[in-house]
Amino acid sequence: MRTAPGPEGAGPLQKDSKVAVVKVQAVGAAPRQVTMKGLYFQQSSTSEEITFVFQERENLPVTEDNYVKLQVKACALSQINTKLLTEMKMEKDFFPVGREVAGIVLDVGSKVSFFQPGDEVAGILPLDSEDPGLCEAVRVHEHYLVHKPEKVTWTEAAGTIRDGVRAYTALHYLSHLSPGKSVLIMDGASALGTIAIQLAHHRGAKVISTACSLEDKQCLERCRPSIARVIDVSNGKAQVAESCLEETGGLGVDIVLDAGVRLYSKDDEPAVKLQLLPHKHDIITLLGVGGHWVTTEENLQLDPPDSHCLFLKGATVAFLNDEVWNLSNVQQGKYLCILKDVMEKLSTGVFRPQLDEPIPLYEAKVTMEVVQKNQGRKKQVVQF
């Protein structure tokens, strides 16, 4: 039987004892800091072109106060409004990418009252979030999250929540949608258009929509409940105003949600925009008395004759800025109600989003470049 070495390391086991010492040192060494990959973008100082890059991030520290540590299961991709970030003075060397997330709560701060570890949640990270949603884990204030129903998948939750907020903001808060109203949804086959049509139908409205291609037209014609009229603008020949007035017996529509408008003459507009978008005069013409025009055109210009026509109709113009909920903490309660209702309507089948096939994280950089150029149609979701 072999005996252990003496205190001086002498004896037959001297060679083995060195191995033993090495093992003890390895176990007692400081643990290696765990890192995660996150997607960020960097904007060029000389142009509006932005570059997407993956960067290593240290593991998140222990959660404090009202913050929740979230294991991200899915994150949807949306176009980044770099102009808004500049106006809000939020420029950074590297800005986090991905805000519409769904995942599992890993840890909660001492003041968190709505969630506990293991809860399945979904939400939209605020504009000033330091963590990218395109990462394995993020920290987020509990007031930006709601519980995800069990029936709702991770990709559905992340892929619908932003467009759900936009549709609610446009049709509920800005235009007071109610049963019997007529609604024109421009580009109804888009991610926002699909949810807006479903919300309008759910509220008992009569829906008219435009289609930008034959495929979009066929998709909209398959909608149930059926759309009152689908106007195909892909060939540039359809008269949106005339079609809407014909459908409403000359009264005009009560609510218009546009997808952008032409502001200038044919010679001053890009060819693609000229073909697919209506002119602002068309929108004003097809509006009914007391109508609501909700526009996504942040640089809308109305001349005195335009304003006078709106005045005669008693019509209003509202701007759809879905970030308004993140720019003001006063309306936080209403914002949470919207998020909860979006999840509920997903659970009950009222919202049926048109999502593309989920993509892995390593494809997020290339896909985000496509999304930023506004070249995709269906919502893109990264699944972890």
Give, as one character, the DSSP assignment of residue 278.
P
Whether pLDDT at 257 is above 80 = yes
Confidence of residue 236 (pLDDT cuts 50, 70, 90): confident
Gap between the Cα atoms of 266 and 325, Å rounded: 36
Longest dimension (CA), the chain: 107
Confidence of residue 269 (pLDDT cuts 50, 70, 90): low
Report percent pLDDT > 90 for the chain: 60
| Cβ atoms < 10 Å from Cβ of 30 | 5
Cis bond upstream, residue 225 (ω within 30): yes
The domains located in the chain, with CATH, are: 36-160+327-383 (3.90.180.10), 179-319 (3.40.50.720)
Residue pair 138/102 in contact (Cβ under 8 Å)? The answer is no
Gap between the Cα atoms of 201 and 206, Å rounded: 7
Residue pair 345/370 in contact (Cβ under 8 Å)? The answer is no
Whether pLDDT at 158 is above 60 = yes
174, 154, 158: which is closest to 166 by C-alpha? 174
Whether pLDDT at 296 is above 80 = yes
Gap between the Cα atoms of 133 and 331, Å rounded: 23
DSSP 111-166: T--S--TT-EEEEE--TT-SS-SSSSEEEEEGGGEEEPPTTS-HHHHHHHHHHHHH
For the residues 8-17, what does the mean pLDDT come to? 40
- Paired sense of beta strands 287-295 and 253-257, if any: parallel
Angle between helices 154-168 and 332-348 (to 10 degrees): 130
27 Cβ contact list (under 8 Å, min separation 6): none
161, 165, 169, 111: which is closest to 133 by C-alpha? 161
- Please give the pLDDT value at position 19: 35
- Paired sense of beta strands 253-257 and 182-185, if any: parallel
Gap between the Cα atoms of 79 and 319, Å rounded: 18
Q: pLDDT digit string (tens) for 306-350?
A: 999 999 999 999 999 888 887 665 567 888 999 999 999 999 999
For the residues 226-235, what does the mean pLDDT come to? 91
Tell which wins on pLDDT, 180 or 87: 180
- Please give the pLDDT value at position 319: 96
Q: pLDDT digit string (tens) for 116-151?
A: 999 999 999 998 888 999 999 999 999 999 999 999
Tell which wins on pLDDT, 52 or 14: 52
- Among 4-13, 270-279, 333-342, where is mean pLDDT lowest? 4-13
Whether pLDDT at 298 is above 70 = yes
Gap between the Cα atoms of 20 and 18, Å rounded: 5
